[in-house]
Amino acid sequence: MLFGAHVSIARGIPNAPINAKQLGCETFQMFTRSPQGGLAINLTDQAIVEFKKNCQSAKFTNYYIHAPYYINLASVKKRIYFGSITTIRKELDLGSKIKAKYVMFHPGSAKDVAQSKGITLVIEGLKKILEGYEGTTELLIENSAGAGSVVGDKFEEIARIIKGVNHLKLSGVCLDTAHSFESGYDWHGQAGANKTLTEFGKVLGFSRLKMIHANDSKTELGSHSDRHEHLGKGEIGLDSFRAIVKHPKLQNIDLILETPADQGGYRPDLRILRKLRAEK
């Protein structure tokens, strides 16, 4: 189990591992483009070499790409739908070039169609993305907070998508603690954490759990409002993260922080995770 955070690629992707090392990360996550919109970066051969060199220097073996927020594979608007397909495929191709382990994405929102139709659109979109793909980077679905007609807030929906796509490169799930809590999964205390993880195991299987976004929540259980908080300072509470760090089936799962930039940023949260890991 490695601990890391989402880091900036300001002034180029080769800076991401440098930024992660300065924070004290053991692994890291990054965007490769503006999360709100914009073209993919022109990743030169030299930038790839520098990125890999910086990762090797900092001893990073696992690192991850987060797809942009504007992805919506449940949209009936062709520009958005096919643009999302193109973007995710490019992220996978880029990830393979830099040897990223996973690309994670949110499926999107079925606000213009029935939920079942939205799930079908996501499945068909993912099949298009993975058609002919032979890269090394694999794709993860990240669960959502459940606002509006969002797809992928419930474990059952994610299981349906993975089963419908049935492709080895769609390998599993990035489980966000805040999003799942906000969509109604109770992480409170060790009992709540164990209950939610047990439910995940029953619906999806622990083999599908590939990484965790470790975020506390500013908002209450079932709020459907995506608001992250520092560990132990939100509605989930520190005992839940202790249960996650100590869970016997999660010892090979990396934890990535996406907590707020205030109050010292990621450093206090990284210290908390390391302290929990060191506890007997």
pLDDT at residue 205, as a whole number: 96
Q: Is residue 56 part of a domain?
A: no
pLDDT at residue 203, as a whole number: 98
**Which of 77-86, 143-152, 221-230 has the weakest average pLDDT?**
143-152
Query: Could you tell me the residue range of the domain that residue 227 belongs to?
Result: 66-278
Q: Is 9 buried (19+), middle (13-18) or exposed (0-12) by CB count in 10 A? A: middle
pLDDT at residue 261, as a whole number: 84
| Per-residue pLDDT tens over the stretch 1-60 | 999 999 999 889 999 999 999 999 999 999 998 777 766 677 899 999 999 999 999 999
Q: Is residue 117 part of a domain?
A: yes
Q: Is residue 217 part of a domain?
A: yes
Q: How many other C-beta atoms lie within 10 A of the C-beta of residue 34?
A: 12
Q: Is 220 buried (19+), middle (13-18) or exposed (0-12) by CB count in 10 A? A: exposed
State both tokens at 17: 């591992």
CATH value at residue 167: 3.20.20.150
Report the relative pairing of strands 138-142 and 170-176 from DSSP bridges: parallel
Q: Is residue 214 part of a domain?
A: yes
Q: Which residue has the higher pLDDT, 46 or 149?
A: 46
Asked whether residue 81 carries a pLDDT value surpassing 90, the answer given is yes
pLDDT at residue 149, as a whole number: 85
State both tokens at 188: 């409170």
**Which of 54-68, 83-97, 136-150 has the weakest average pLDDT?**
136-150
pLDDT at residue 35, as a whole number: 77
pLDDT at residue 71, as a whole number: 93
Q: Is residue 96 part of a domain?
A: yes
Q: Is residue 99 part of a domain?
A: yes
| Per-residue pLDDT tens over the stretch 205-222 | 999 999 999 999 999 999
Q: Is residue 161 part of a domain?
A: yes
Percent of the chain with pLDDT over 70: 99
* Confidence at 264, pLDDT banded by 50, 70, 90: confident
**Which of 81-90, 105-114, 134-143, 209-218 has the weakest average pLDDT?**
105-114
Percent of the chain with pLDDT over 90: 88
pLDDT at residue 165, as a whole number: 97
Query: How many domains does the chain divide into?
Result: 1
User: Which secondary structure element, helix H or strand E, spans residue 236, and what is its range?
Assistant: none
Asked whether residue 163 carries a pLDDT value surpassing 80, the answer given is yes
Q: How many other C-beta atoms lie within 10 A of the C-beta of residue 89?
A: 19
Average pLDDT, the chain: 94
pLDDT at residue 34, as a whole number: 77
Q: Is residue 100 part of a domain?
A: yes
For residues 102-111, give the mean pLDDT.
Answer: 94
